[in-house]
Amino acid sequence: MATIKEVAKRARVSVGTASNVINGAAPVSSARAARVLAAAKELDYHPNEIARSLKSKQTRMLGLVLPDITNPFFSDMIRGAENAALERGYLLVTANSDEQVEREKRFVTALRSHRADGILLAAAASKSETHLESAVAAGIPIVCLDRAAPGIAVDAVLADNTRGTQECVRHLIRLGHKEIAIITGSLSLQIGRERLDGYRAALKEAGIRQTSDLVLEGDFREEAGYRLGKELLLGRKRPSAIFTSNGVMMLGLLLALDELGVRCPEDIALATFDDLPFARSFHPRLTAVAQPGNEMGYRGANLLMDRVEGKLTGEPVTIRLAPELKIRESSKVSLDGKRRS
């Protein structure tokens, strides 16, 4: 592997000049810079990032820890964060906690050991955030995405979950539905509780009494949508509409409908939080609360880099992004089974 000394010798400049060109540390004449860059290319020279980070006290590496990278919403978030990182010369390393706090702790510890400059995090459900408190105390900036970590004061970029759910359930109520069921996410998570709050707020403002047997707690996984969907569909009194708190649980619910021969929207109306890209090709197309996942990742990464670079100081910042209700055929049905336009 070529060294900076070999590059300098090939370019006929001092080591300091070669280093200034490679690192952009100080201005160098265009002729010398061209010789250095040509020599670096000929020798296939790559800077020693470990040595560089020891000198600058920055690795220009960010960590992104997510609960489920198979979920298209989080894939969209990764792309947004990655684009922001690349624009500013950072490397983004992604890890999947699988909604397990012990895995999350291991990844946070590993990122600290590898001297990541900061961490983006969609936290797993946990009663203890000591691993995050320890990282913050050590001076490592953390920005929460999608879900805030309870008990620690850090920056966050979140969706307005309550508002998005409330608007969607309002839409179902305007269609004439009163028996509206919800399959929630884990209520130990902030987003699970906020989406349930939106559901309850919509019922309350319409004067509809909440029925406990129409509120089933899931875990944001497909199996929960399938299992709890069957429970609702086979119950003593089937609801006229079902709202799922994320798109992955809706996939499980759709499987339950198919197995039981229940038609949508003729027999039941459906709506979900999350507008999964491939779900738009389903028939009927799904009414969904679309989250700006890409924007969430992009803005979160920029917020984190601003903290790392000292451009942002002071109290933690929370940014709430507005979701958008996409009304499609799956909810366009009234209680008499006739479609509405």
pLDDT tens digit string along 284-340? 899 999 999 999 999 999 999 999 999 999 999 999 999 999 999 999 754 444 444
Cα R_g (the chain), whole angstroms: 25
What is the predicted pLDDT for the residue at 242? 98
Q: Is 151 helix (H, G, I), strand (E, B) or coil?
A: coil
Q: Which residues contact 47 (CB under 8 A, 6 or more apart)?
A: 4, 22, 23
On whether the CB atoms of residues 136 and 151 are closer than 8 A, the answer is no
What is the predicted pLDDT for the residue at 22? 74
Q: Does this chain's domain 59-160+292-322 share its CATH topology with 161-291+325-331?
A: yes
Per-residue pLDDT reduced to its tens digit, 10-55: 888 888 888 777 766 567 788 888 888 898 888 887 666 545 554 5
Least Cα distance to 111 among 149, 138, 88 occurs for 138
Other beta carbons within 10 Å of 46: 10
Count Cα atoms within 13 angstroms, Cβ side, for 242.
33
pLDDT at 134 exceeding the cut of 80:
yes
Per-residue pLDDT reduced to its tens digit, 139-158: 999 999 999 887 789 999 99
Look up residue 165 and give its two tokens. Answer: 């759910």
Per-residue pLDDT reduced to its tens digit, 155-177: 999 999 999 999 999 999 999 99
- Write phi, then psi, for 157 (nearest 5 degrees): -125, 115
Determine the topology of domain 59-160+292-322 in CATH: Rossmann fold (3.40.50)
Q: Where are the domains of the chain?
A: 4-47, 59-160+292-322, 161-291+325-331
What is the predicted pLDDT for the residue at 334? 47
- Write the burial class of residue 158 (CB in 10 Å: 0-12 exposed, 13-18 middle, 19+ buried): buried
What is the predicted pLDDT for the residue at 330? 94
What is the predicted pLDDT for the residue at 57? 56
Give residue 87's pLDDT band: very low, low, confident or very high (50, 70, 90).
very high
Q: What string of DSSP letters covers 65-95? A: EES-TTSHHHHHHHHHHHHHHHHTT-EEEEE
- Asked if CATH classification 3.40.50.2300 holds for the domain at 161-291+325-331, the reply, yes or no, is yes
What is the predicted pLDDT for the residue at 54? 46
- Write phi, then psi, for 326 (nearest 5 degrees): -105, 105
Separation of alpha carbons 31 and 305, rounded Å: 33
- Distances in Å between the Cα of 228 and the Cα atoms of 68, 146, 238, 239 are 20, 24, 12, 13
Per-residue pLDDT reduced to its tens digit, 250-287: 999 999 999 999 999 999 999 999 998 876 678 889 99
Using a cut of 0.75, tell me whether the model's pTM lies above it. Answer: yes
